[in-house]
Structure 1
Amino acid sequence: MMFSKQNSLTEERDNLTRINSGWRIFRGSAYYMSSTEKTWQESRTYCQSVGADLIIINSKEEQISLFTYMWIGLTDSETEGRWKWVDGSPLTTSYWYDGEPNGNTVENCGEIKTFTAERSWNDGTCSRSLKWICEMKLS
């Protein structure tokens, strides 16, 4: 039992260290916005390597605090037209830009397309390099 408590404290310490290294806190999550560009999969791999994942946008507040041309944790690569978040949950609320998604089997990864508060998502080619946003749940 003591080992489990020690692991929990170590994980909490590591999370706090990450937060103090360029992560922003907002409503129970910490966010890291990259300054470099990677493909969607490379971005996700980076996020996972630090105990996070690409951002899952659950609210209008999260949506409007984001920047343009950044990968988000949304894909339809398993089944064309069935958009899911990186945690496997289905897309229920969306902010697609007018006419999106429109890429058929060529564009399977979600990105922020414009700097508007709403309706700014695009389905992009996953191999293109963009900045990205990691999200780490703190609770």
Structure 2
Amino acid sequence: MNSETEARSRTISLERDELKKKLNTLESQYRSVAEERDSIKLKLNITAQPGWTLFRHSAYYISSTKKTWQESRAYCQSVGADLMIINSKEEQDFVNSFKMYMWIGLTDSETEGTWKWVDGSPLTTSYWYTNEPNGGTGENCVETKNFATEKSWNDGTCSYQHNWICEMRFTL
């Protein structure tokens, strides 16, 4: 082979290798988009069932039955959600609008007095009712309870049975 043919062969090999890299990247991106599509389809199928309500970037399931805090959380997780995390005044107003005792996703069962959301994030903004929390080691799970005021949270006994609210977030 002459040097011109060898140079052309090297150039073609480099172009081929670059195209293979691009193809691998595109295939990976396609798989990622397909997985996201399938996840969204599943969420849409779940949230189309009775009991689900859309609000902002999440879907919420408001139970019609009562369970303990842990049973409520297990139900939420079984459908790809979790107990509600309240991140804003608007979400607090939303949950209060149902005027029901409902478990939300806040607990200090790991460390007494250290309130954490079910995703592990610390409590930064709270809506505790007057003189709450007050239950010590006997009341480690949070329920909405007093609807005449924005501040409706009560620390309750986790084994009590209440309705609950699940939150399924949709990422944008």
Q: In the alignment, which residue of structure 2 is the partner of 1:129?
A: 161
Q: In the alignment, which residue of structure 1 is the partner of 2:126?
A: 94
Identity %: 65
1:50 aligns with 2:79: yes
How far did 1:3 drift? 4.1
Q: 2:48 aligns with which of 2, 17, 20?
A: 20
Range moving further from structure 2, 38-47 or 10-19: 10-19
1:76 aligns with 2:105: no
Q: In the alignment, which residue of structure 1 is the partner of 2:25?
A: none
How far did 1:6 drift? 3.0
Q: Matches of 1:122 and 1:25 in 2, distance apart? A: 25
Q: Which runs of 5+ in 2 are unaligned?
A: 1-27
1:6 aligns with 2:52: no
Aligned pairs, number: 139
2:136 match: secondary structure:
coil
How far did 1:12 drift? 1.0
Q: Which runs of 5+ in 1 are unaligned?
A: none
CA RMSD between the two structures: 1.2
**Greater relative contact order structure (CA < 8 Å, 6+ sep):** 1
Q: Matches of 1:43 and 1:19 in 2, distance apart? A: 17
Q: Which has the larger radius of gyration?
A: 2
Q: Matches of 2:149 and 2:135 in 1, distance apart? A: 23
Structure in which a larger fraction of residues adopt helix: 2
Could you state the TM-score of these two structures normalised by the residue count of structure 2? Answer: 0.77
How far did 1:134 drift? 0.3
How far did 1:10 drift? 1.6
Could you state the TM-score of these two structures normalised by the residue count of structure 1? Answer: 0.95
Q: Matches of 1:111 and 1:21 in 2, distance apart? A: 24
How far did 1:26 drift? 1.1
Is the Cα contact below 8 Å between 1:64 and 1:116 reproduced in 2?
Answer: no
Q: 1:65 aligns with which of 83, 94, 97?
A: 94
